[in-house]
Structure 1
Amino acid sequence: MAQPEVNTNQPASNEDSHGKMKLKCWGGGYGLPSLDPDCLSVITYAGIVNAPLNLVPALPNNSVTGSLPELQIGDFIYQRAFTIIGVFRREGYNADQLLTEVQKADTLAFLSYIDQKLKPAVLYNLWVDARNFNAVTQPATGKACGFPLSLWYPAKIRKTISSYIWFCKGAKEYTSMKDIERMIYKDGYDSLNILNSKLSNSDFFFGDYPTTLDAVLFGHLVVLKNSPLVSTELQNHLNSCENLIHFCDRMAKFCPSTAPPQKKQVTSNLFSKEQVVSLMVCAGAMIFYAFTSGVLTEERSKLAAKLRTSQFNESDPMD
């Protein structure tokens, strides 16, 4: 039997799309089907568009690409969250089909903002922060890996994520990871404030129905919200953002749950990664999403310009 083909360009056949698509992802806990932000983003998006998804808890070494999440449709394999969401769109599962061109451009701007500001803060809090890593992340990840991988694998993941954050935040300007901790958390606090303000009292970011932006943001917020952390500064700040907390409650119906959240004890797998995608690969995934959205034009949204130049005013309208 032929091995599945790794493919990020060609669409799967329509016949394959009628059956269940298989998504390999990190296992879940604390009321979530997975404890990895990228896996959760994909799972939630599938829930929004009612895609027939078969979840398969796995480790990266059980996947074809060596990374998670990984989607299989027939003989085709797709990796990385934004690429997988783009595949869903090509298969007819499009959560953004009612958005205007301006809203599509704003979606790209916010997705980039989450990737650059919020994601590093969440990863740092869970993986690099020594208290959280030693008390929560390391033992939970070790339990997911099993012996003997548990002896070294969590430390390997931590090193990989530390390197990603180091280069993402401008390594040349600092001498140690501790030097950039303050900036990472400031970015995390600021991003939560901006997202909380922009959501305001709306159910979702672009009206009455959730879109790609809602799925990706939920994937990052709910991991931080539900995990039984020891070092809780960023988690506490999220809990103070009432709009985002209510948003998580609304979005939960699109994400299948496991057991109820359990506080201050490690009973299931905390998310982990085999590989953290380089900045160039992340940019490529964003471009893939933009291509499937039809927003690769010369016209840029005002929101994108503000985010890029750090001239963002929380009171500005979204459009």
Structure 2
Amino acid sequence: MAAPSELFCWKSGLGLPSVNTDCLIVLVVQFESKHRHMLASLEHRSKFTRFRTPGEAPQKYNADYDLSAKEGADTLAFISLLEERLLPALIYALWIDPKNYVEVTRRWHGENMSFPFNFFLPGRMQNRQLERLRLIRGNDTLEAGEETEKELYHDALECLNLLSQRLGSNKFFFGDSPSSLDAYVFGHIAPLLKIRLPNCRLQQSLKNLDNLNTFCSNILNLYFPSESDEGSSHPVSGVQQSDDADNQPYKRRKQLLSVLVAVAAMLSYALLTGIVAIEHVHEEPVGRTSLRGSSHDEEEEV
């Protein structure tokens, strides 16, 4: 029996089971495969009337096992479309747009990282996302700006409209059972639907596509029921607000302590490397100087 594998994902937050697109995709595919695996095991038991050990489970069952050849080709085509058209806009909205990055993305990651990594890791992650965006778009000089935003959001909206047309009135893209395409679509549109972004015109355009909103809710209700009632479209309860108010003094103390520790570390580094030096200056007592001055005057008078 193969050794179990471990999956490390970004934690839940902002109304999502994970704040990372790739993690969302893998989590949904994992649940889909487990569901089909359980159905396959039950079918096998009914035919042969014996129990199977976990190592004997049929490995051929996965999220796309029941798809036809055409549906498999459609899956690859739409995944490619997502990565070329929608993913760049998602990266820009979360990591490159200055207002969204400072107020949402950087703030959340900083609050969920330990000291001192929360001071520099979000910035490094932003740089990597910018490099990723430049690679996808084939533009080494791409920067944040109105023209860049307009171009990316235009391509993303075309992709969303195509997805909406393909989904139609279906619960999932290939009927009543989700596939890997559903996982990929969910991983890309859920952050845009659930995360409150102060500046994102694409977010409002997506919210106007009702079938994609319903699709996202179906995935959350099916696999992540604890997260389905959270997000941008639901107000924060009074209990949550009270808890946040109670935690404010603690958060402020923690932030102040972090700043003091950082300042102390910088001063220590400066002293050890010689950037800053402390010089001791010896001054003679004032009274002694006065006495010597009066004695000198008496000698001149004589």
Output the amino acid matched with 1:159.
Answer: N
1:115 and 2:83 matched: yes
Match of 1:187 in 2: 155
Residues 42/254 of structure 1: CA separation in 2 closer, same or farther (3 Å cut): farther
SS of equivalent residue, structure 2 residue 8:
strand
Q: What CA distance in whole angstroms lies between the structure 2 residues aligned with 1:42 and 1:236?
A: 26
Deviations 1:256-299 (A, max 9, x none): 2545425499x8xxxxxxxxxxxxxxxxxxxxxxxxxxxxxxxx
Please, which of 12, 15, 22 is the counterpart of residue 28 of structure 1? 12
Match of 1:141 in 2: 109
With the length of structure 1 as denominator, give the TM-score of the two structures: 0.61
Following TM superposition, by how much is the alpha carbon of 1:105 offset from its aligned partner in structure 2, in angstroms? 0.9
Q: What CA distance in whole angstroms lies between the structure 1 residues aligned with 2:23 and 2:142?
A: 32
Q: Is the 2:97–2:144 contact (alpha carbons within 8 Å) kept by the matching residues of 1?
A: no
Q: Is the 1:142–1:151 contact (alpha carbons within 8 Å) kept by the matching residues of 2?
A: yes
Deviations 1:104-139 (A, max 9, x none): 111111111111111111111011111111111111
Per residue, is there more helix in 1 or in 2?
Answer: 2
Could you list the runs of 5+ residues in structure 2 that have no partner in the other structure? 37-57, 237-243, 245-302
Q: Percent identity over the alignment?
A: 32
CA root-mean-square deviation: 2.5
Following TM superposition, by how much is the alpha carbon of 1:192 offset from its aligned partner in structure 2, in angstroms? 0.9
1:256 and 2:224 matched: yes
1:37 and 2:5 matched: no
Q: What CA distance in whole angstroms lies between the structure 2 residues aligned with 1:257 and 1:30?
A: 15
Q: What CA distance in whole angstroms lies between the structure 2 residues aligned with 1:47 and 1:142?
A: 29
Match of 1:101 in 2: 69
Equivalent residue runs for 1:26-175 within 5 Å: 26-50=10-34, 91-171=59-139
1:205 and 2:173 matched: yes
Following TM superposition, by how much is the alpha carbon of 1:164 offset from its aligned partner in structure 2, in angstroms? 1.0
Q: Which has the larger radius of gyration?
A: 2
Equivalent residue runs for 1:224-243 within 5 Å: 224-243=192-211
Corresponding pairs, count: 213
With the length of structure 2 as denominator, give the TM-score of the two structures: 0.65
Q: Is the 2:32–2:62 contact (alpha carbons within 8 Å) kept by the matching residues of 1?
A: no
Q: Is the 2:19–2:191 contact (alpha carbons within 8 Å) kept by the matching residues of 1?
A: yes
SS of equivalent residue, structure 1 residue 23:
coil
Q: Is the 1:32–1:258 contact (alpha carbons within 8 Å) kept by the matching residues of 2?
A: no
Q: What CA distance in whole angstroms lies between the structure 2 residues aligned with 1:241 and 1:162?
A: 28
Per residue, is there more strand in 1 or in 2?
Answer: 1
Match of 2:189 in 1: 221
Residues 32/258 of structure 1: CA separation in 2 closer, same or farther (3 Å cut): farther
Following TM superposition, by how much is the alpha carbon of 1:50 offset from its aligned partner in structure 2, in angstroms? 1.9
Residues 224/101 of structure 1: CA separation in 2 closer, same or farther (3 Å cut): same
Output the amino acid matched with 2:230.
Answer: P
Could you list the runs of 5+ residues in structure 1 that have no partner in the other structure? 1-13, 53-89, 268-319
Residues 175/238 of structure 1: CA separation in 2 closer, same or farther (3 Å cut): closer
Q: Is the 1:48–1:95 contact (alpha carbons within 8 Å) kept by the matching residues of 2?
A: yes
Match of 2:298 in 1: none
Residues 250/258 of structure 1: CA separation in 2 closer, same or farther (3 Å cut): closer
